[in-house]
Structure 1
Amino acid sequence: MAEVKPAARPLSPHLQIYRWSWTMAMSIAHRATGVALYCGTLLIALWLVAAASGPGPYETAQAIAGSFLGRLVLFGYTFALLHHMVGGLRHFVWDMGRGFEPQARMNLAKYSVLVSGGLTVLVWAVALTR
């Protein structure tokens, strides 16, 4: 009996073939921050449920949110929110037909990290001084 061999089909390029770039990393980060925002919004909803449930559950939720780990999660949520927003603004620039030149794409990707990180630190600096 003859052996049947599968047809040799061309393979699609994969991550091992592509060279990592800032725009590729920011695309993945934009998706990851979107997922993080869903999780963070669930935590905010739980905090609101605790606030509506009375003083006891609210104090527990506040103690968790005020702990080191809770503040670290809130800091990460703030960064995710601002990074996703800045990434959305980057996409808005592209929707207007601007920023498609190779260097402009790289600059938009690099600056989105710097701007979102700077805004996160600014938000927390203002919040902690009040």
Structure 2
Amino acid sequence: MSKSPATQARPLSPHLTVYRWPITMTMSILHRVTGAALYFGTLLVAWWLIAAAVSEEYFEFVNGLFGSWFGRLVLFGYTWVLMHHMMGGLRHLVWDTGAGLEKHTASRIAWATIVASAVLTVLIWIAGYMARGM
């Protein structure tokens, strides 16, 4: 007697340790994550602006939090998220024109997005510290 079709062994998909994610898929996921992180960062910017409108003491409190080592780390991360999401948006804008859709080109643009967002973040912080005279 043969096995029924419902009980026959079925092929399994490769495990995640075998499968290598393409950089374009990683960047697509990261673009969504950075978009969600921008909501949190925008709340921080709104908190800072509201504190400036409330009173000088409250503004000094919030400004002191943002000026601490942890606050600067959060602001550095927010800057990177903003730059990365912007570069991802530009990547999608290029794709909307029909350019860069080849597999090799799309991968190179994805890597360029990572590099450009990191470089822009560092340049913004260097410019900020130079403007403050530090």
Q: Given the two structures, how large is their TM-score scaled by the length of structure 1?
A: 0.86
Task: State yes or no: 1:40 paired with 2:49.
Answer: no
Superposed CA RMSD in Å reads 2.2
Unmatched tracts of structure 2, length 5 or more:
1-5, 7-11
Whole-Å separation in 2 of the counterparts to 1:27 and 1:14? 21
Whole-Å separation in 1 of the counterparts to 2:85 and 2:19? 24
Structure 1 pair 81–59 and aligned structure 2 pair: CA distance change class (3 A): same
What's the offset of the Cα at 1:76?
A: 0.5
Task: Find the counterpart in structure 2 of residue 124 from structure 1.
Answer: 125
Q: Deviations over 1:37-71 (max 9, x none)?
A: 00000011111111111011000001001000000
Whole-Å separation in 1 of the counterparts to 2:104 and 2:43? 38
Task: Find the counterpart in structure 2 of residue 106 from structure 1.
Answer: 107
- The residue type equivalent to 2:120 in the other structure is L
Task: Find the counterpart in structure 1 of residue 98 from structure 2.
Answer: 97
Q: Given the two structures, how large is their TM-score scaled by the length of structure 2?
A: 0.84
Q: Deviations over 1:75-107 (max 9, x none)?
A: 000000010000000000100001111110100
Q: After TM superposition, where is structure 1 displaced by more than 6 Å over at least 4 residues in a row?
A: 11-17
Task: State yes or no: 1:59 paired with 2:77.
Answer: no
Whole-Å separation in 2 of the counterparts to 1:32 and 1:14? 24
The number of aligned residues is: 125
User: Identity of paired residues, percent?
Assistant: 53
- The residue type equivalent to 1:77 in the other structure is Y
What's the offset of the Cα at 1:15?
A: 6.4
For the residue of structure 1 that corresponds to 2:99, the secondary structure is coil
For the residue of structure 1 that corresponds to 2:20, the secondary structure is coil
